[in-house]
Structure 1
């Protein structure tokens, strides 16, 4: 079979590296897959760049052709232009590449796949299918009458009706989709996969990173990976970091891996009362993330609670668990908040209940003194976030050609 794999992030985006590339390797390994065309959406400076796969990435069957977004000062007009132009460009790629179907990563990419189906009736599947429109609405990023919300909501409804297969990232959402009338045989849960071996704890990396940062071996280090704002806490996150600093005392250190401007994050940490020497902020390439996680003792997943958040699967939580880190997480985050509480993978806090944060930090502290806690938590990633879940879903859903 020939597959056009449609992502929604740039080739060099960390989400592409962490969530798309592992699935491309699974597909490439199948003997019934003859060729894969990866299509990404490039924005900003990357839209004009000469883009290539990173050295070492196996591409025997994979070709690459980006969609390049035109710069615009108005984000709404920019997205409208993308969703009117990109379907036509994809139709041209289909004529050239001749895929059997489109496999879209995420509901926004699924919207483009649907718009191509509308023109030429090319079958499509959507993995990492989530209620993206409601995520953005409930996070305050979009408003109910924002054209982006209205169109995305409609396109998600059409994906549910027309996609040959949907792969939601949370079991909670699979059950919801079946209740909405999507045939159960067309829906398989595939949480955001993590290569647990790549993220496994390394004592050598831990010592090396701490020595480079001049952090003591006995320091308690909390790590946060990702952006601030949007669907994530912003000022509130730094309040949580400060609470951790107060709980663990002068030896606490905060490690932040983020695409946000370093100086801006440092300013926010200082405003929260966290000493400059206790914070290290870096924009790290994805392949360096495991070493930084090894240097930490626990992790933050400061995702804004919202009703639809129980349908998500944060890749960062899978990576944290693979490194053996207990996670401080709000309630109702996908299937993960319940797993953290029930299976020892961390502790849940609710900013609406002020006493819950110090209590959760106390539970994190109790985990840190358990012998072998990292190995036990690593097994959560093996059980719940294995790339084998995607392999099984592809076997169940994709056609035999």
Structure 2
């Protein structure tokens, strides 16, 4: 079986290399082939490395540029270009299953179905993109852009041989919107990571990393790894760190982000700039920085769209042995129960309570928390678990569309 994965990603994220290549190559069975069409902009700085990693995994990867301005016409033109590219891949390589990720790629796959020989459709919803734009990007749910993305989503769900989501809640939403019972066609897949890569490491490793950062071994170290978008509650994370600093002035906050130019002004304006460390590091370096921390932060604004996501950072923190402060009701946030602090929407005093938990509990029991977090991460977010979940979705498509 030949699978074509269709992905759209901005220049500051590396989910293709760090998440999807390991997951999808691990999920396919012997004799299967994975091909990737990757759509994006400003990608020249990563193309060679991504292709090297893909080739090492036996994957044929092709980059395709998209237009950005003016936004509406450029997006439509990019979807049209994508449909032609997908159709070409299906014809040339006898693709059995097209697997678009999220709405825009679904639009490409749907368009390609009119231009190429029949192929199975495995739709990876990976959240609710249109609703996220409405919740955080200022889009109107009555606007043309939102309605177009929703149309792509609804048609993809209705026509797909199988649908992948990140949460059970999302399955119900997608089925209701598409007006079709998903029955046995829906598969919930976790964002698993390689536990041999994301690992606590040795105490000597953590000590060296802290020395590099200029952080004392005994000092509380909080970490955030991710983007600076409004859904990530960066202001609340900084306020929580301020509460920790009031209890331990030697505490430090490490922000690992692909958007350092956005992060630095935020921490400087907050008054904690001297205690915050902002770094942009290669993906392969992220695990050792995480492992050196005491607590990871994974907050999300509890809007409608966020109930459909499963933050990758929770998996990474826990596998690295890092207890986590996470938002309740968001994706896999419940996974931190017993090894973290869940922030419920109505708890106005949560920052002080979380700061007390960090200083009074976690810091005084570092090794115990490290071991429990690691065990929970392996239980819930191992790469093997996630690839087996994806494999079930592939197998659901395979009978009708195998060579």
**TM-score past 0.5 threshold:** yes
Aligned CA-pair RMSD: 2.5
Where 2:98 maps in the other structure, the secondary structure is strand
What's the offset of the Cα at 1:245? 2.7
Question: Does the 8 A contact of 1:47 with 1:68 survive in 2?
Answer: no
**Distance change (3 Å), C-alpha of 1:38 and 1:196:** same
Instruction: Tell me, in whole angstroms, the C-alpha distance in 2 between the residues paired with 1:232 and 1:76.
Output: 26
1:2-401 mapped onto 2 (5 Å cutoff) = 2-9=2-9, 13-27=13-27, 30-33=29-32, 35-44=33-42, 46=43, 51-53=48-50, 59=56, 61-70=58-67, 72=69, 74-120=70-116, 121-177=118-174, 181-202=180-201, 203-246=203-246, 248-262=247-261, 264-276=262-274, 278-336=275-333, 338-341=334-337, 344-350=338-344, 353-365=347-359, 366-370=361-365, 371-387=367-383, 388-395=385-392, 396-400=395-399, 401=402
Where 2:231 maps in the other structure, the secondary structure is coil
Where 2:215 maps in the other structure, the secondary structure is coil
**Distance change (3 Å), C-alpha of 1:99 and 1:319:** same
Instruction: Tell me, in whole angstroms, the C-alpha distance in 2 between the residues paired with 1:164 and 1:77.
Output: 30
What's the offset of the Cα at 1:266? 2.1
**Distance change (3 Å), C-alpha of 1:111 and 1:71:** closer
57-66 vs 375-384, greater mean Cα deviation: 57-66
Where 1:372 maps in the other structure, the secondary structure is helix
Alpha-carbon deviations, 1:334-390, whole Å to 9, x = none? 132x2323xx13112256542122112323342343342112111222222222233
Gap runs ≥5 in structure 1: none
Instruction: Tell me, in whole angstroms, the C-alpha distance in 2 between the residues paired with 1:141 and 1:381.
Output: 35
Number of paired residues? 391
What's the offset of the Cα at 1:107? 3.9
What's the offset of the Cα at 1:17? 2.2
Gap runs ≥5 in structure 2: none
What's the offset of the Cα at 1:140? 4.1
What TM-score comes out, normalization by structure 2 length?
0.88
Instruction: Tell me, in whole angstroms, the C-alpha distance in 1 between the residues paired with 2:36 and 2:379.
Output: 29
Instruction: Tell me, in whole angstroms, the C-alpha distance in 2 between the residues paired with 1:55 and 1:85.
Output: 25
Alpha-carbon deviations, 1:200-249, whole Å to 9, x = none? 10123211111112211001000011111243224444333323333x42
Instruction: Tell me, in whole angstroms, the C-alpha distance in 1 between the residues paired with 2:13 and 2:162.
Output: 26
Where 1:115 maps in the other structure, the secondary structure is helix
Greater percentage in helix:
2
**Structure 1 consecutive aligned stretches of length 4 or more whose deviation exceeds 6 Å:** none
